[in-house]
Amino acid sequence: MASSRPEHTLIVGAGIIGICCAYYLARRGHRVTVVEAEDLAARASQGNAGSIAPGHEPINKPGRTLQALRWMFSSKSPLYVAPRPDPALARWLWTFRRYCTEAHLHRAMTLLGPLGHRSAELFEALRDEQLACHYRTGGYYAVFRTEAGLRHARADAALLPALGYRPECFDAAAMRDREPALGEVAGGVFYPESSWCDPELFVRNLAAAVVRHGGELHTHRRANRLAMCNERVTGVHTDGGMIAADLVLLATGAQTPELLQPTRLRLPLQPAKGYHRDYAHGPGVPRLHAPCILGESYVFCTPLPNRLRLAGTLEFSGFNLHVRHERLEQLSAAAREYYRDVHLPAPASEWVGQRPCLPDGLPAVGPVRQHPGLAVATGHAMMGLTLGPVTGELVANMVLGEPLRVDVGALDPNRF
Ligand SMILES: Cc1cc2nc3c(=O)[nH]c(=O)nc-3n(C[C@H](O)[C@H](O)[C@H](O)COP(=O)(O)OP(=O)(O)OC[C@H]3O[C@@H](n4cnc5c(N)ncnc54)[C@H](O)[C@@H]3O)c2cc1C
C-alpha cells in the first residue's frame, strides 16, 4: 500500500467501510485513527437493508441498459434519473453501459464470489466481539409475482453453484409455506448463505471494538482537505487541526470526490439514493421469518427486532439528501402488492442514504498511484455491508504488507 510499511493510518469516514478497515488494522496492533464528520454510521451505513448477501451480482448486467432506459425517467420505477444537465452523470451512465456485458459480469462474479465467502466467514468470526447487532443467519428469499421475473432470477441463480453458492428455487406453494405472509406470487429463489443484521448497531458496536483494540476515534470532526507535500499526502486538515499520518485512507462513501478534488485521481463516483421505511411490528405489518427481496420492485424487507424495514429504490439525483416522497411511498406499495392483509400504520422511521457507485459496479480499494500516502476504500454500491469485513481485511493486509487472498487488480482505484 505504501513504499515503506506505514506506522500510523488515518481513516476518514466512520461508515461500515471505514470502521471495518479500522477494526482489522487495530486488531493487529497497528496504530489507527478514525475521523468522522458526523456521528458513527451517519450516512449510507445507517439505514440500509441490513442484508449480508454474498454472491450478490453487481448492478451492471447484460440487458440492464435497456431496462434502465425504460425505467429511467419515471419517478415511480425502481431506478430513477432526475432529468437535469449533469455531464459527470452522463459520462457515468455511458461508462456504466459499457460494463453491462456477459464478459464483465463473469469477471466481476469471479472476484465477488470468493470475496463474499470470505466476508461471510469474517462475519461469523465477529461473533467473538459480541457485537449485539441482531446478527442472524438463515438466508434470504427473492420472490416474484411474474413468471418472467422468476425465470430471470432462476437463470441468474444458475450461475452461482460454480462459485460455491447453493441457491434453491421454490414454486408459489413452497414459497408461501416458508413465508405465510406472502400473497399471490409466482415463486422465489432462496439464498441460504446470506445473513442479516441491524447495520447501524453493527457499525456502532464494531467502532467500540476498534477502541478496545487501541484505535482512536473522533466523531463530529470533519476532514476539510488533504495535507500534501508535493504529491505525497501527509495527513488531513480537520475542524480540530491537522492530523499527520503515514497513510490516509478515504472511506468517505458517496462524498469521496470532495476530498479527492486537489488530487490527480478522478474517481467517477456517483451517489445512488435509496430510502427506507420502518414499521413497528403489529397487526397489518407482515411478519417475516427471513429477509425477502420483492423481486420486480427491488424492495428489500428485513425483519429487525421491533420492526420491519422496507428498503430500496435507486435514484440518481446528485449529491444531496433531498427526499422524494413518491419513492418512499413505493416501498409501502410494494409490501401491499406482495403480502396478504397489509394495513400499514404510520412509519416508525423514514430515511434516505446514498450508495457510492462506480460505473463498473465494483468497489475501489487500494493505494492511489499518483499520490504516495493516500488510499481509498469506497464504491461498494449495494454491497457495503456484505463486503465490509472482507474490505477491512484486504486493506489491513495491504497496509501491513501481508498476502492478499484474491486478485484485487479489478478493485484498483486507478482503473478508470
Ligand atoms: C436503501 C439502501 C439499502 C442498502 N442495503 C444494503 C444491504 O442490504 N446490504 C449491503 O451490503 N449494502 C446495502 N446498501 C449499501 C450500503 O449501505 C453501502 O454500500 C455502505 O453503507 C457504504 O459504506 P461506506 O462506509 O462506504 O459509506 P458511508 O456509510 O456513507 O460512510 C461514509 C462516512 O464518511 C463520513 N465522511 C464523509 N466525508 C467526510 C469528511 N470530509 N470528513 C469526515 N468524515 C466524512 C460520512 O459522514 C460517513 O459517515 C444499501 C444502501 C442503501 C442506500
Specify whether 90 is located in the same domain as 209. no
367 vs 217, 246, 328, CA distance in Å?
A: 22, 12, 38
Q: How many CB atoms lie within 10 A of CB 407?
A: 10
Question: What φ, ψ does residue 56 adopt, rounded to 5°?
Answer: -70, 135
Q: Which of 357, 382, 401 is the last residue of a domain?
A: 357
* Structure confidence at residue 62 (pLDDT): 84
CATH number for the domain harbouring residue 396: 3.50.50.60
Q: Is residue 218, in this structure, part of any structural domain at all?
A: yes
Q: How far is the CA of 168 from the centre of ligand 1 (A)?
A: 30
Q: How far is the CA of 184 from the centre of ligand 1 (A)?
A: 34
* Structure confidence at residue 178 (pLDDT): 97
* Structure confidence at residue 60 (pLDDT): 87
Cell numbers for 275, please give them: 430510502
- Residue 285's domain spans which residues? 62-97+135-195+270-357
DSSP bridge partners of 182: 339
Q: For residues 390 and 373, give the distance between their C-alpha atoms in angstroms, rounded to a whole number.
A: 22
Predicted confidence (pLDDT) at residue 2 exceeds the cutoff of 80: no
Specify whether 144 is located in the same domain as 81. yes
Q: How far is the CA of 2 from the centre of ligand 1 (A)?
A: 25
Specify whether 381 is located in the same domain as 245. yes
Q: Is residue 153, in this structure, part of any structural domain at all?
A: yes
Specify whether 79 is located in the same domain as 164. yes
Specify whether 88 is located in the same domain as 153. yes
Mean pLDDT value across residues 31-44 = 98
* Structure confidence at residue 81 (pLDDT): 83
CATH number for the domain harbouring residue 314: 3.30.9.10
Predicted confidence (pLDDT) at residue 63 exceeds the cutoff of 60: yes
Would you place residue 75 in the very low, low, confident or very high pLDDT band (cuts 50, 70, 90)?
A: low
Would you place residue 260 in the very low, low, confident or very high pLDDT band (cuts 50, 70, 90)?
A: very high
Residue-wise pLDDT for 361-402, tens only, equals 999 999 999 999 999 999 999 999 999 999 999 999 999 999
CA-nearest residue for atom 35, ligand 1, is: 13
Question: What φ, ψ does residue 210 adopt, rounded to 5°?
Answer: -60, -45
* Structure confidence at residue 74 (pLDDT): 67
Would you place residue 406 in the very low, low, confident or very high pLDDT band (cuts 50, 70, 90)?
A: confident
Residue-wise pLDDT for 269-307, tens only, equals 999 999 999 999 999 999 999 999 999 999 999 999 999
113: alpha, beta or left? (left if phi > 0; alpha if psi -120 to 50): alpha
For residues 169 and 321, the answer to whether their CB atoms sit within 8 Å is: no
Greater confidence (319 vs 82) lies with 319
210 vs 38, 216, 383, CA distance in Å?
A: 18, 8, 22
Predicted confidence (pLDDT) at residue 1 exceeds the cutoff of 70: no
Q: How far is the CA of 362 from the centre of ligand 1 (A)?
A: 15
Residue-wise pLDDT for 122-139, tens only, equals 999 999 999 999 999 999
Q: Which of 341, 357, 373 is the last residue of a domain?
A: 357
Question: What φ, ψ does residue 54 adopt, rounded to 5°?
Answer: -65, 145
Q: What percent of the chain has pLDDT over 90?
A: 88
Residues with CB under 6 A from ligand 1: 12-18, 35-38, 42-45, 48-51, 222-223, 251-255, 259, 274-276, 300, 311-312, 353, 355-356, 378, 380-386
Most ligand 1 atoms within 8 A of CB, residue of 39, 194, 349, 355 to mutate: 355
Q: Is residue 109, in this structure, part of any structural domain at all?
A: no
Q: Is residue 123, in this structure, part of any structural domain at all?
A: no
Cell numbers for 30, please give them: 497497528
Cell numbers for 249, please give them: 485512507
Specify whether 41 is located in the same domain as 189. no
Predicted confidence (pLDDT) at residue 237 exceeds the cutoff of 80: yes
Q: For residues 59 and 93, give the distance between their C-alpha atoms in angstroms, rounded to a whole number.
A: 12
Q: Is residue 341, in this structure, part of any structural domain at all?
A: yes
SS3 category, 83: coil
Specify whether 206 is located in the same domain as 225. yes
Most ligand 1 atoms within 8 A of CB, residue of 11, 16, 238, 270 to mutate: 16
Specify whether 168 is located in the same domain as 308. yes
pTM: 0.97
* Structure confidence at residue 78 (pLDDT): 78
Specify whether 218 is located in the same domain as 190. no
* Structure confidence at residue 73 (pLDDT): 65
179 vs 17, 18, 185, CA distance in Å?
A: 33, 36, 11
Mean pLDDT value across residues 84-93 = 90
CB hemisphere CA count around 245 (13 angstroms): 28
Q: How far is the CA of 30 from the centre of ligand 1 (A)?
A: 24
Q: Which of 317, 342, 357 is the last residue of a domain?
A: 357
* Structure confidence at residue 21 (pLDDT): 98
For residues 205 and 345, the answer to whether their CB atoms sit within 8 Å is: no
For residues 357 and 23, the answer to whether their CB atoms sit within 8 Å is: no
DSSP bridge partners of 80: 315
Look at the chain and report how many structural domains it folds into: 2
Specify whether 312 is located in the same domain as 300. yes
End-to-end CA distance of the chain: 19
Q: Is residue 52, in this structure, part of any structural domain at all?
A: no
Mean pLDDT value across residues 303-319 = 94
Core vs surface per residue 132-141: b (16+ CB within 10 A) or e: ebbbbeebbb
Q: What percent of the chain has pLDDT over 70?
A: 98
Mean pLDDT value across residues 169-179 = 97
DSSP bridge partners of 32: 9
Specify whether 249 is located in the same domain as 293. no
Q: Is residue 148, in this structure, part of any structural domain at all?
A: yes
Specify whether 162 is located in the same domain as 307. yes
From the alpha carbon of 354, which atom of ligand 1 is closest? 53
Q: Is residue 85, in this structure, part of any structural domain at all?
A: yes
Q: For residues 140 and 146, give the distance between their C-alpha atoms in angstroms, rounded to a whole number.
A: 19
**Mean pLDDT, the chain, whole residue set:** 95
